[in-house]
Amino acid sequence: MKISSIRSVRPAKAAAVLAVVAGAIFASVLPSSADVSAQSPSQSGVRVQSPAERLARGAALGVEVLVACPAGWSNYVNVQITQRVGPGIASGSGYTQFTCTGGLQTLDLTVHANQHAFRAGTAFATAVISNGSGQVRDDREIEIVNP
C-alpha cells in the first residue's frame, strides 16, 4: 500500500511545482501590465471599504470609498447606508465631487444618519460614481465599528 500512495503523491508534487513556476512567470509579467492600466483606467470603478467608523455615537459614519476613472474627469460619488436597528432602519447618505487623477483614489465621506443612529454591526452600503457619460455602482455588506 505504501508504494501506491508514494506514486500518487509524485504527480501531485509535480503539479504543485508546475503551478508555482507558472505563477512565478505570470507574476513577473503582471506588474508591468498592471502598472500601465493603473496609470490611466479607461473605465470608472467604485468600491465601498469596510469597516465604516461610527461618529458622534452613531449620528454619522466615516466611510472610505475607492474610485478609479480616467484622468481629468469630474465625478460625483454618492454613498447610501442602511442598517436594521431594533424594529427600525437606520439610514443615511453622503456625497462628494472630485476630479479623477487617472489612478486609484481613496475618498473619505461622511454619511449622516436619518431617524435612527447607526450601531456597531453589519450594514448594507451602495456607492454610485457618476459623470456625464454614465454611472457605476457597488453594493455590498460592510461592518460598522466603534472608534
> Exposure of 62 by Cβ count < 10 A (0-12 exposed, 13-18 middle, 19+ buried)?
middle
Looking at the fold, whether 30 and 52 belong to one and the same domain comes out as no
Looking at the fold, whether 69 and 21 belong to one and the same domain comes out as no
Looking at the fold, whether 66 and 101 belong to one and the same domain comes out as yes
Looking at the fold, whether 34 and 67 belong to one and the same domain comes out as no
Looking at the fold, whether 35 and 106 belong to one and the same domain comes out as no
Whole-prediction pTM: 0.70
Looking at the fold, whether 99 and 133 belong to one and the same domain comes out as yes
Tell me the CATH number at 112: 2.60.40.10
pLDDT at 41: 59
Tell me the pLDDT of the chain averaged across its residues: 80
Per the structure, the complete domain to which residue 3 belongs is given by 1-39
Looking at the fold, whether 113 and 58 belong to one and the same domain comes out as yes
Closest Cα partner for 98 from 71, 75, 114, 79?
75
Looking at the fold, whether 67 and 107 belong to one and the same domain comes out as yes
Closest Cα partner for 145 from 47, 50, 49?
50
Q: Dump pLDDT digits (tens) for 130-140.
A: 877 789 999 99
Looking at the fold, whether 33 and 53 belong to one and the same domain comes out as no
Q: Dump pLDDT digits (tens) for 5-57.
A: 444 444 444 444 334 333 433 343 334 334 434 455 568 899 999 999 999 99
- Number of domains making up the chain: 2
